Structure formats: structure tokens, C-alpha cells
Chain A
């Protein structure tokens, strides 16, 4: 029985194992090899090229500006998005027909693809088609391009994070609020000293998801700004895409860059886990 069960287990796990090996493990090994090779988009592998791939990647004149812009975008997006999502979650916390309608309204944008949402805002922001009056330039300056993109992302994702925070809010037991009320706590005090601390695990999850997602931003900038004006909105992933497939056609260097991203992201996630877990105590 035991042996037969083990065989059956492996038999059922085979499709998953094949997927994981062929489309995940092999690519990870391959990207490692590519990152130390002179690997052209069309030419293929032309031999060893390390550490030049990494040093060339870091020497790219757009590398540090892209890192800086991506970090700036991530901080702005995370703060605004989670702040708004928390506000929305508090607004629709009780369930009634009215809050049901509100939840649906806030969630509808999250059903759209990010690319579709970006295309929608591309038209919404355009001088010709825009319903907004006159001379507002949404994408013309580095500053406005950043904030216009943040607005798009907030619209697309606020409902999603609201939902995650609602799960957290609903798991706070009612008697905790009752106790706070009996102690004569004001609404603000209750929020500050009861709701926020108990919501920390949900907020931590949202922060990690939002930071990771924003650091890897691509679609929205590829469609809305194309990295412009003057390369002011080039994100790291866009840089990888450009190095690999636009102009330079250098897969080796792009692989090196993407390994750097992977390592940075893993380190950041470990730190975030530690930091956010640590505060729980």
C-alpha cells in the first residue's frame, strides 16, 4: 500500500513536475549561464563574457537613473495606494446593499488587464481625446508622467488591496472594539491603537505585494510613456527589455541585469519579512 501510494503520488505530480522543471528550473539555470556568456539575440552563445556582462550592465548610462526612478515610483505608489485602500476598506467595512455596490465599483477596474487599463488611460490623457479641459499635460514632463502613471495604478489596484485589507478588518473580533468603546476611546484612538496594530499582518502582506509589483513595473510605462519624456520614466524591467530586444539585442547583458534584479528582490523580501514580522512582537 505504502509503495503503491508513493507511485500514485508521483504519477499525479508528474504534470506539475514537468512544468516546473521545463519552464522554471531550466530557465533559471539557463539565465545563469547566459549572464556569464556573450549571448546575442540572433547570434546565440558566443562564449564566456563575465564579469563584463555585469560591469557593462552597471555602466549603462540609464542603469542608475532607472534604479532611482523605480524606487521613487515604488515608494510613491505604495504609500498612496495602501493609504487609499485602507480608507476604502474602512468605508465599506459593514455589509449592506450600498457597501456591496461600492465594493463592486472599486473592484471593477481590477478585472481589467494592466495593459488594457494603460491603453484606456493613454486615450484619457491624450490632448485630442481627453475629456479633461484644455491644456493639462499629463505625460509631457517627468513629474506629470510619474503622477499620471501613479493615478492609473491606484485606479487599477485600489480595489484589490481594499479586498485584502477587508479580510484583515473582518478578522478583528467585535469584542475588542466593544472593550475600547467601554474604555471611552474616541474613534481616532480606536483606529490608532486597536485597528492598526491588529491589521498589521494584512498591511504587511499588502506592502510586500505592492512593493514587489511596483519594482517590476513594465506594462504601464511601456504603454503610457515609453520611458519618456527624455528617458525619465525608464524602469529597471524596461531597461532589461530594451537591452535584450530593442537595439542592443544583447541577451547576455540583459540576463546579467535580470539576475541582479532577482537577487535584489530576494534580499528585499527577506528584509521586509524580517522587518514586518519583527514589529508584530
Chain B
């Protein structure tokens, strides 16, 4: 009886799942299916991907740019949040609480408010049109979440473990590397994953900070691709671009779903 009552619920939920999966499935199929006005005009195949590959600097250049930006952002974010999280979790020093609060305050300030002065500032620092400059800015946007996450990860490590390491004659750096980092591995993965996805997908930051078309990340290149030939949009190539953009995100999400979910959970608990 109970199960019978549940049937409409199952049908509704299944229908909704189809609705949510449909756009991605459609884009994947559409990118290889024949479509007038694209390079893939008859039969199925990878013509749209060929268009994408040959667009301006070539899709490999843009994938390379995006990969470099994302890996640099992951590296900067992990470095700053591990050292910062360690400092906040285990040391008392003057200015500690102020620094932590100011780091969290980054969340309160709109992107647009920061990007305008950052455009000027990066020019003065000689970091205009630079992938490193872009990655530094993207890392800054990640810091509130990352520092918070690493701080609570380190604080969750039992105090005896830390003290045992110090008594064994480890300096604080060796205690961090030998004891705390291995214990905080899930936190590290979550922080790294979020930093990668955010950097891979960010749009407005490179739109403002990168003007050199050879240095554009993939999302900008695919967005620009739409206006190329006399305003006629190549939807096939756009679909192919979406698939290339989405693929690493979906794969990472499915592989690391647990860590992904935990990242959001910690945000929810904080609130």
C-alpha cells in the first residue's frame, strides 16, 4: 500500500531527473549530429569539433590557457589556505582574528566592485594580460572558502596527534607536513576541486583582465566564437565548445562527488 502511494512520487521524480539531464545529453548529441550551416552538415561526425579546433589560435591553445590558469589557481589557493589555515587553527598571534575576518569579508564584496580597481592595479604591477595575474586574482576569490575549510580541517585533527609530533622533535613545519596534511586530506581535495572548477569556469574575471586573444581561457573563446562570420552563429561549434568545457567538470564531479558535496555541507553548517 505504502509503495503504491509512492508511485506518483517516483514518476514525478524520474520525470524531473530526465528534465535535468536533458540539456547536457542534447548538447552532446547535437554537437555530433548533422546540422545545416555548420561544418557537420550531413551525417554524424566530429566536423563541429574541427571548426572549434581551427578557431583563431586553435582550441588547444585555449584549453592550454584554461588548464594553466586552473592549475595555478589550485596551487596558489592550496598554498595560501594550508599555511593560513594552519596559522589560524594552531597559533595565537596578534591580529589573527582580524586577518581571518578580513579574509572572510572577501565574500561580502561583489566581483564587479573588485574587478575595476584590480584592472588598474594589475596594470601597475605589470600583470596585465597575464595568466599568473589572473590566477592570483581567482585564488583571492577562493580564499574565504578555502581558508575556512582548511582551518576547520586542521582543527578537527586531534590535539594529541599534533603534540606527539612536536614532542618527537618535529618543528611546526614538519608537524604540518607529516601529521596534519595527511589527516586533512579530504579538506585538501575539496579545496582543490572547488578552486579548479571555479578557475576553469570563471567568465567575468578574464573578460575584464585578459584582452590578448591568444591568452583567453576556453569559456571566453567559445563565447566569442558565436559572432565570427558576418554575425552568423555557428551553433554546432558552440555545442562542441560546451561539451569540451563541461567534460572535465562532469568527470571531476562524478569522480569526487563526496568531496564536492562536503564542500557545500560545510558552507551550510557555517550558516
Measuring CB to CB, which residues of chain A are less than 8 angstroms from any residue of chain B?
5-17, 19-20, 22-28, 30-31, 34, 39, 44, 88, 91-92, 98-99, 101-102, 104-109, 111-116, 119-124, 126, 128-129, 131, 155, 158-160, 163-164, 167-168, 201-202, 204-205, 208, 216, 218-219, 222-223, 237, 240-241, 244-245, 251, 254-255, 258-259, 261-262, 265-266, 269
Report how far A222 CA is from B118 CA in the complex, Å. 21
Q: Taking each of B20, B24, B35, B252, which has the highest tally of chain A beta carbons within 10 Å of its own beta carbon? A: B20
Closest CB of chain B to A201's CB: distance in Å? 7
Task: Report B-chain residues with C-beta under 8 Å of the C-beta of A167.
Answer: 264-265, 268-269
Task: Report B-chain residues with C-beta under 8 Å of the C-beta of A20.
Answer: 99, 102-103, 106, 140, 143
Interface residues of B: mostly helix, strand, loop or mixed? Answer: helix
Contact A129–B236 (Cβ < 8 Å): yes
Contact B83–A12 (Cβ < 8 Å): yes
Which chain B residue lies CB-closest to A254? Answer: B116
Contact A106–B88 (Cβ < 8 Å): no
- Per a CB cutoff under 8 Å, which of A6, A98, A116, A131 touches B93? A6
Contact B238–A219 (Cβ < 8 Å): no
Interface residues of A: mostly helix, strand, loop or mixed? Answer: helix
Report how far A44 CA is from B264 CA in the complex, Å. 41
Contact B268–A116 (Cβ < 8 Å): no
Which chain B residue lies CB-closest to A244? Answer: B116
Query: Apart from A108-B250, A115-B201, what 7 extra A-B contacts exist at CB < 8 Å?
Result: A24-B106, A27-B117, A31-B116, A126-B235, A205-B271, A218-B203, A241-B207
Report how far A101 CA is from B260 CA in the complex, Å. 16
Contact A258–B93 (Cβ < 8 Å): no
Residues of chain B in range 73-115 having any CB-CB distance to chain A below 8 Å: 79-81, 83-84, 86-88, 90-96, 99, 102-103, 105-106, 108-114
Q: A131-B26, A258-B110 are in contact. Are A27 and B87 (CB under 8 A)?
A: no
Contact B23–A216 (Cβ < 8 Å): no
Closest CB of chain B to A241's CB: distance in Å? 7
Contact A105–B21 (Cβ < 8 Å): yes
Q: Taking each of A27, A39, A155, A219, which has the highest tally of chain B beta carbons within 10 Å of its own beta carbon? A: A27
Report how far A16 CA is from B268 CA in the complex, Å. 24
Q: Taking each of B13, B119, B241, B265, which has the highest tally of chain A beta carbons within 10 Å of its own beta carbon? A: B13
Report how far A28 CA is from B86 CA in the complex, Å. 27
Contact A121–B23 (Cβ < 8 Å): yes
Which chain A residue lies CB-closest to B226? Answer: A122
B156, CB-defined interface residue at 8 Å: no
Task: Report A-chain residues with C-beta under 8 Å of the C-beta of B88.
Answer: 13
- What are 23 A-B interface contacts by the 8 Å CB criterion? A7-B93, A9-B92, A10-B95, A13-B96, A15-B84, A16-B103, A16-B143, A19-B80, A19-B143, A28-B117, A34-B120, A99-B13, A105-B20, A108-B20, A108-B21, A108-B24, A109-B23, A116-B249, A119-B223, A121-B23, A131-B26, A240-B112, A261-B112
Report how far A216 CA is from B109 CA in the complex, Å. 10
Contact B116–A255 (Cβ < 8 Å): yes
Q: A12-B84, A23-B136, A258-B116 are in contact. Are A102 and B17 (CB under 8 A)?
A: yes
Residues of chain B in range 13-44 having any CB-CB distance to chain A below 8 Å: 13-14, 16-17, 20-21, 23-24, 26-27, 30, 35-37
